[in-house]
Chain A
């Protein structure tokens, strides 16, 4: 459990670091007062600036990392969508999704479920197998057949490098399912 936690911290810092490096901007306004300005609305929920600030405060106080407002909003919306869906399917009946911790827990459980349920297209599996025969060589020099074990092996390889795209697809699907509207003057409001 401790190892898993350390790994999560490490990976998070690494990737938030990448994000910062890409955007080269650091927000300097950390709100202290709750700000309930809506950032996005979906069926059954409103994502407020306060929720975004919770994540920003958490990251900036616990990791010494910084990223841009846009990134925090994206994180907050994803967390909210995964938490809403996790709650809807009863992924953890004990969690209500009303607090920061509860949403984070539901989100994490749902993110794990997305990966668990991920099934790459057969074309993905087969193209990897046929393009990389050397990776499937046995000690005797023959090529492993494309059976269930090999498919599982390829699936793991794809997941290892592809979790962000897998989660992104899930976010896009949930945005549609929950009819998410982004707020703000440039978005035409979020009625």
Chain B
């Protein structure tokens, strides 16, 4: 009986492992695709005035941010945006799951990003608050309030995707 239980343990552990298997991520960045840059405006708030010349603490961050949000809404380019997420996110989250998550936005057309503020959360970690103007599938224009985090690791900026509902372990 003991031997049988031991075998059962082993086999079930094995099944558990293999049932979970799916695609794996890499940190390689695919060839640069063509995309339409999303316009960015610096509206600020009643209390916060933004100077576009000093808003970005790093020109690379501006470039990466613009690229990321322009690509997020392009069909079939999730591989590119996935590679712009933090390396730990890429390691911990299945790319297919990410594709489904991002894919839900393809029917929308991004029209504009309007910044309200930028905050330094920690060394090399910044948060943006902005409004994203979108044209949705039925032609309506909608404005969505967003909060977005970016981290600099070894000289490169990465998007910090946090969604405690969809990606609890990586958020």
Contacts and interface: CB of A to CB of B under 8 A. Distances in A.
Interface stretch (A28-36, A37-45, A167-175, A179-187): A167-175
B27 A121 contact: yes
B86 A127 contact: yes
B49 interface: no
A107 B21 CA distance: 15
- Size category of the binding interface on chain B: 35 or more
A8 B24 contact: no
Contact of A130 (B8, B13, B152): B152
B13 A108 contact: yes
B12 interface: yes
A124 interface: yes
Interface string A153-191: 010001011111101110110000000000000000000
B128 to A, nearest CB: 15
B25 A161 contact: no
B23 interface: yes
B151 A120 contact: no
- Size category of the binding interface on chain A: 35 or more
A67 to B, nearest CB: 7
Contacts of B15: 12, 15-16, 55, 59, 75
B20 to A, nearest CB: 3
B7 interface: yes
B52 to A, nearest CB: 26
Interface of B: 3, 5-25, 27, 86-92, 94, 121-125, 149, 151-154, 158, 160, 169-170
Interface of A: 4-5, 8-9, 11-12, 14-16, 18-19, 55, 58-59, 62-63, 67, 71, 74-75, 78-79, 82, 100-101, 104-105, 107-108, 111, 120-121, 123-128, 130-131, 133, 143, 154, 158, 160-165, 167-169, 171-172
